[in-house]
Amino acid sequence: EVVLTQSPDFQSVTPKQKVTITCRASQNIGTSLHWYQQKPDQSPKLLIKYASQSMSGVPSRFSGGGSGTDFTLTVNSLEAEDAATYYCHQSSFLPMTFGQGTRLDIK
């Protein structure tokens, strides 16, 4: 199965800071990589589909990029409400798999 490795596992950031989360796939998955935000006691919410396509209603400070095996989720000018765990997910191969998650803490 495709292993997705996110980095970092945890990051503490200040408001208005820029943060980049990376997701590395164990094999080429093209652009079949999606990003979710999960806040405590909530279900995951889709932010970015197919590596770089932002979902309707998602703030423009969220952007995604990459292809093949290396992907990024960037949050520009972080806000307090962005405190959450972020997961990448690949749908290129079955079984579909997720990264281990990156927890963002806002100071």
Partner 1 sequence: QVLLQESGPGLVKPSETLSLTCTVSGGSISTYCWSWVRQPPGKGLEWIGYVYDSGSTNYNPSLKSRLTISVDTSKNQFSLRLTSVTAADTAVYYCARSRTGRNFFDPWGQGNLVTVSS
Report the interface residues with partner 1, using CB under 8 A: 32, 34, 36, 42-46, 49-50, 55, 87, 89, 91-101
Closest CA to 64 of 77, 48, 40, 43: 48
Is 81 in a helix, a strand, or coil?
Answer: helix
Q: Indicate the residue type of 83.
A: A
- In the complex, least distance from residue 70 CB atom to partner 1, rounded to whole angstroms: 19
Nearer to partner 1, 14 or 42 (CB): 42
- In the complex, least distance from residue 16 CB atom to partner 1, rounded to whole angstroms: 29
